[in-house]
Amino acid sequence: MDTLESKMSEKTKVLESESIVVRFSGDSGDGMQLTGMQFTDTAALLGNDLSTFPDFPAEIRAPIGTVSGVSGFQVHLGSKEIFTPGDTYDVLVAMNAAALKVDLPRLKKGGVVIANIAGFDKKNLGLAHYADGVNPLDDKTLVNFEVHKIDVTKHTKECLSGSGLSQKEIERSKNMFVLGLLFWMFDKSLDSTIKFIGEKFAKKPDIANANIKTLKAGWDYGDNTEIFTTRFSVKPAKLPKGVYRNITGNSATAIGLVAAAEKSGLPLFLGSYPITPASDILHELSKYKANGVKTFQAEDEIAGVCAAIGASYTGSLAVTTTSGPGMALKTEAIGLATILEIPLVIVDVQRGGPSTGLPTKTEQADLMMAMYGRHGEGPIPVLAAASPTDCFNMAYEACRIAVEHMTPVILLTDGYIANGSEPWRFPTEDKLKAINVKFMTEANGVEGAVLPYKRDEKLVRPWIKPGTKGLEHRIGGLEKQDETGNVSYDAMNHEKMVHLRAAKIEKIADFIPLAKPECGKEKAKLLVLGWGSTYGAIKTAVLEAIAEGHDVEQIHLHYINPFPKNLGEILKGYEKVIIPEMNCGQLLQLIRAKYLVPAIGLSKVQGLPFTTTELKAKFIELLN
């Protein structure tokens, strides 16, 4: 960008780094999520690998200035492969005293603090519960850090005086000043954000101009004031060749479902009820109306899944999306889909529980509910996504398994990967696995009899669409006679049907990938076995431990029911097995029960993901 050619001061040193973590922190109304996402988009476009962690309160606007209202967005960018948003950060942007109070503990020693002085007045200090007369910007609190005190609010006001905007509108632009300054610090172009602002405020050119002006003022501030002694440089990452985009887990889930619909030739139907943190899947899918995607915002969670059952019965690729409390409500209907044996994808974006729990925080505590949360014997496939981009793969797989095996499938993601984002080397259409769907068109019994529960070699029953001439038949939640599907209370028939339905699910193991050690070691002193969103933290910790000379390996499960066929055998190659989970040991129980392996649990239920540091420390402890 030639207009912003940098007049680099001799005093400013450029710190080249393989990876840097930035935390934007402020009040819920300060626009930190948007600021963080813009910073991320630009870093991604310039070739950094990255991982993000939006961390916001459940309240839409908690009282301004309070600790409970702090909204953070953390981004880890690197010139190497990045698997987590980072345990601690190098740069902390604190828009007010509460933000500093909440987020300072995880700033690296020597790290940079950019503090908005206006957010540290008497009122804000009081709201953040600093003692009377104490201001962390003036005492010894920040003695170990490089601190830049800037009156962002004042600079923004100066920049926009005479713009004709109201005080409120001017105040709202202050995040752009910070973003501009950060772009200067990281020597990143403003182009992408300028384009974004132009599009976002296309109908309000005044606001667009004000935001762009403030953004540039932030950059100029860094460039002119010579108060910054450090600038950062993170070179583009050496990622595999290809075309990339940035994507969040929820968007990836939505696109995975759309892709499965397109590849299978089935119309996509979503029955859903808004719930944090799953609603973005509903929002994203609603955009694809022109592709025939039908999204139905139902009257409640139960209606969401029931409408999906109705749509599946009628020949759609049917999906319902929710989070823990909604899963509880859908349970009975999932049981119906199980006994009907119709395709249905249930996405559970897990959050802290039980009950309303921690709506915006992450947890992996719905695994047992997914496995066993139905009355009666009703096993169904359970899949789990490991990262934001893996949400695409697993959503696609959930659809494939549902329609090819005529069963409801539960896909578990969680708040951490649902809202987090990372670069994605997206596939092209031709690289996606085929999804084979066949509807029955002619009677399959003798003398034109319709046998809706006659099974093929995979033990799968036919999918019969209402409207198909000559195939009229009834199905229902009552136990059914083998093959005919007629109501049957016969004791032996019930037992047979229970086993048949279970065997059908077990057989899916023949159609999913085998478990694979991440680093290719079939033997090691320690195996770290994980599932779901812990993938990145485990991967980083394992790679670091290996680099330090430890004998450790990682296996990550994407398929939990059924397990990959080789899992029991492969577990025998490791002296110790540890299972880190954001719950009290749910996969641990499944593994111990099924394979009689004395696996060790590592549990964390704080609504927060594991840090690499705590994982590595535990691994090394077990190795010594």
Partner 1 sequence: MDTITVEPNNKLTSKDFASNQEVKWCPGCGDYSILKQVQTIFPDLGIPREKFVFISGIGCSSRFTYYMETFGMHSIHGRAAAIASGVKLSNPDLDVWVVSGDGDALSIGGNHFIHAMRRNFNLNYLVFNNQIYGLTKGQYSPTSEKGKVTKSTPFGSIEEPFNPSELALGAKASFVARSMDRDPKHMQSVLKRAHEFKGTSFVEIYTNCPVFNDEAFFAFTDKETKKEEAIFLEHGKPLIFGHNDEKAIIIEGSRPKIVNIVDSNLSPDSYWIHDEKNKTKANIIARFFDTVVDGVHFPRPFGVIYADERGVFDEQTTASITQAAEKKGRTPLNKILSGEKTWTIS
- 460-499 residues near partner 1, rule: CB under 8 A: 465-478, 486-487
Binding range to partner 1, per CB under 8 A, among 41-49, 120-128, 137-145, 403-411: 41-49
| Choice between 143 and 243, CB closer to partner 1 | 243
Interacting residue with partner 1 among 29, 198, 267, 517 (CB under 8 A)? 267
Angle at 15 between CA 110 and CA 46, to 5 degrees: 120
Interacting residue with partner 1 among 145, 201, 244, 595 (CB under 8 A)? 244
* Binders in 530-549 for partner 1, by CB under 8 A: none
Mask 343-382, x = binds partner 1 (CB under 8 A)? ----------------------------------------
Q: Fill in the amino acid letter for 522.
A: E
Six token digits for residue 360: 């915006």
Cα→Cα distances 552→34, 536, 574, 624, Å: 39, 16, 9, 12
Least gap, CB of 385 to partner 1 (angstroms): 17
Interacting residue with partner 1 among 97, 100, 150, 259 (CB under 8 A)? 259
| Choice between 145 and 244, CB closer to partner 1 | 244
* Binders in 142-181 for partner 1, by CB under 8 A: none
Residue 614, judged by CB atoms within 10 A of its CB (0-12, 13-18, 19+), counts as middle
Is residue 250 within 8 A of residue 391, CB to CB? The reply is yes
| Choice between 188 and 616, CB closer to partner 1 | 188
* Binders in 294-323 for partner 1, by CB under 8 A: 294, 296, 298-300, 302-303, 306-316, 318
Interacting residue with partner 1 among 235, 245, 494, 525 (CB under 8 A)? 245
Is residue 32 within 8 A of residue 95, CB to CB? The reply is yes
Going by the DSSP 8-state scheme, the letter that residue 607 receives in this structure is S
**What are phi and psi for residue 56, nearest 5 degrees?**
-130, 160
Burial pattern 51-87, b for ≥16 Cβ within 10 A else e, equals: bbbbbbbeeeebeebbbebbbbbbbbbbbeebbbbbb
| Choice between 152 and 282, CB closer to partner 1 | 282
- Nearest C-alpha neighbor of 99 from the set 125, 131, 75: 125
| Choice between 164 and 470, CB closer to partner 1 | 470
Tell me the site size for partner 1, rule CB under 8 A.
Answer: 74
| Choice between 322 and 583, CB closer to partner 1 | 322
* Binders in 43-62 for partner 1, by CB under 8 A: 44-47
| Choice between 209 and 314, CB closer to partner 1 | 314
Interacting residue with partner 1 among 80, 204, 289, 499 (CB under 8 A)? 289
Least gap, CB of 303 to partner 1 (angstroms): 4
* Binders in 184-243 for partner 1, by CB under 8 A: 192, 236-237, 239-243
Least gap, CB of 349 to partner 1 (angstroms): 20
Q: Give me the residues paired with residue 76 across strands.
A: 21, 51
| Choice between 67 and 443, CB closer to partner 1 | 443
Distance CA 220, CA 227 (A): 12
Q: How many CB atoms neighbour CB 516 within 10 A?
A: 13
Least gap, CB of 462 to partner 1 (angstroms): 14
Least gap, CB of 6 to partner 1 (angstroms): 23
Angle at 522 between CA 518 and CA 523, to 5 degrees: 120
H or E stretch including 280?
helix 279-286
| Choice between 255 and 403, CB closer to partner 1 | 255
| Choice between 40 and 156, CB closer to partner 1 | 40
Distance CA 128, CA 147 (A): 19
Binding range to partner 1, per CB under 8 A, among 85-93, 134-142, 328-336, 616-624: 328-336
Binding range to partner 1, per CB under 8 A, among 27-35, 108-116, 291-299, 371-379: 291-299
Six token digits for residue 103: 């987020």
Interacting residue with partner 1 among 29, 198, 292, 568 (CB under 8 A)? 292
Mask 401-440, x = binds partner 1 (CB under 8 A)? -------------------------xxxx-----------
Q: Is 590 helix (H, G, I), strand (E, B) or coil?
A: helix
**What are phi and psi for residue 317, nearest 5 degrees?**
-80, 105
- What is the SS3 string spanning 30-73? HCHHHHHHHHHHHHHHCCCEEEEEEECCCCCCCCCCCHHHEEEE
| Choice between 170 and 309, CB closer to partner 1 | 309
| Choice between 117 and 432, CB closer to partner 1 | 432
Q: Does 39 bind partner 1 (CB under 8 A)?
A: no
- Contacts (Cβ under 8 Å, ≥6 apart) of 195: none
The residue written with tokens 């809706």 in the block is 452
